[in-house]
């Protein structure tokens, strides 16, 4: 199974006259990062909510939106009466001799002080946490379903590109004999043109050709490239949920072998195959940027 890093999830749940709505958006990122957007004070449950989301998503840049609507209106406003009376007493003592008729106006003024009037609906109550947690888990499930669907498309594209490289690799063998003979003929021609036909030492010439052909040998590169492509497909189809980093590492190894193959090709036909391999490899890298 392959997961995409981009996705969207939304869930709504109503309990005890309150409606909980949770939305999450995910984008590609090397790290697992969460931005929480809510007008409510989640109090001690914010860290638990963050841990729940990050543990479930593993990788990606996330934006989580939480909204709680109290349809009863019962806890929408609270007055901190203890703080209000304490401040009122201190102000009256400082005023010493103010008329009692000013008391009502004083109370009205004190109500504007921050902390005297609290919006109860903006605080997550202990009894609300189970409902919010259930809603968040449902939202994350929808996100996971979305990412899985996107992952299936990515997996198909990655498989096609990797198979494209192995198909091109299989064609390299068709040009290897021609490549070797071409190098031998070119070296012999250059020696004869430089030294003259009668001055070429046949034995020494063969030794130099063998030495040169050993440096041009691409069998190791072909074997390693074939193995890396097979390993890439193996990781792509295993049961791990998070595999983007590992696939990236393997694609880098594939790139090294393809580059070495091109550097040692000495054949226009093989160079064309290498160029097409690189095209498939670039497609792989682009797709892997979105794999969790």
Please give the pLDDT value at position 50: 95
Contact indicator for 284, 158 with CB cutoff of 8 Å: yes
Neighbours of 264 (CB within 10 A): 16
pLDDT (average), residues 119-136: 84
CATH code of the domain made up of 7-74+123-146: 3.30.230
Tens digits of residue pLDDT in 167-185: 999 999 999 888 877 777 7
Neighbours of 71 (CB within 10 A): 10
Tens digits of residue pLDDT in 191-241: 666 656 556 566 766 676 677 777 788 999 999 999 999 999 999 999 888
Q: Copy the structure tokens of residue 148.
A: 């899985």
Judged against a pLDDT cut of 80, whether residue 101 lies above it is answered with: no
d(CA 61, CA 57): 10
d(CA 77, CA 116): 11
User: Which residues have CB under 8 Å from 155's CB, separation 6+?
Assistant: 2, 236, 237
Q: Predicted confidence band at 138 (pLDDT cuts at 50, 70, 90)?
A: very high
User: Which residues have CB under 8 Å from 30's CB, separation 6+?
Assistant: none
Nearest partner of 91 among 64, 61, 112, judged by Cα: 112
Q: Predicted confidence band at 74 (pLDDT cuts at 50, 70, 90)?
A: low
- CATH 3.30.230 range(s) for the chain read 7-74+123-146
Please give the pLDDT value at position 132: 96
């Amino acid at each position: 199974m392959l997961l995409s890093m981009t996705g969207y999830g939304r869930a709504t749940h109503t309990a005890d006259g309150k409606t909980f709505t949770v939305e999450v958006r995910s984008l590609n990122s090397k790290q697992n990062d969460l931005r929480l957007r809510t007008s409510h004070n989640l109090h001690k449950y914010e860290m638990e909510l963050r841990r729940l989301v990050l543990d479930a998503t593993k990788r990606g840049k996330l934006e989580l939106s939480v909204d709680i609507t109290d349809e009863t209106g019962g806890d929408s406003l609270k007055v901190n009466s203890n703080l209000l009376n304490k401040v009122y007493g201190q102000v009256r003592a400082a005023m010493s001799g103010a008329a009692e008729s000013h008391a009502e106006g004083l109370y009205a003024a004190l109500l504007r002080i921050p902390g005297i009037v609290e919006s109860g609906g903006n605080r997550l109550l202990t009894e609300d946490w189970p409902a919010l947690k259930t809603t968040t888990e449902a939202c994350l499930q929808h996100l996971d379903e979305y990412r899985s669907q996107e992952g299936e498309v990515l997996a198909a594209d990655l498989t096609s590109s990797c198979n494209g490289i192995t198909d091109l690799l299989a064609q390299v063998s068709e040009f290897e004999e021609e490549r070797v003979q071409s190098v031998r003929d070119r070296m012999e021609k250059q020696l004869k043109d430089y030294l003259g036909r009668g001055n070429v030492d046949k034995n020494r010439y063969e030794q130099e050709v063998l030495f040169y052909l050993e440096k041009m040998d691409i069998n190791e590169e072909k074997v390693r490239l074939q193995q890396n492509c097979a390993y890439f497909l193996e990781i792509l189809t295993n049961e791990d949920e998070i595999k983007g980093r590992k696939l990236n590492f393997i694609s880098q190894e594939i790139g090294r072998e393809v580059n070495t193959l091109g550097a040692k090709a000495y054949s226009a036909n093989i160079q064309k195959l290498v160029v097409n391999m690189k095209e498939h490899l670039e497609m792989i890298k682009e797709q892997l940027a979105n794999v969790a």
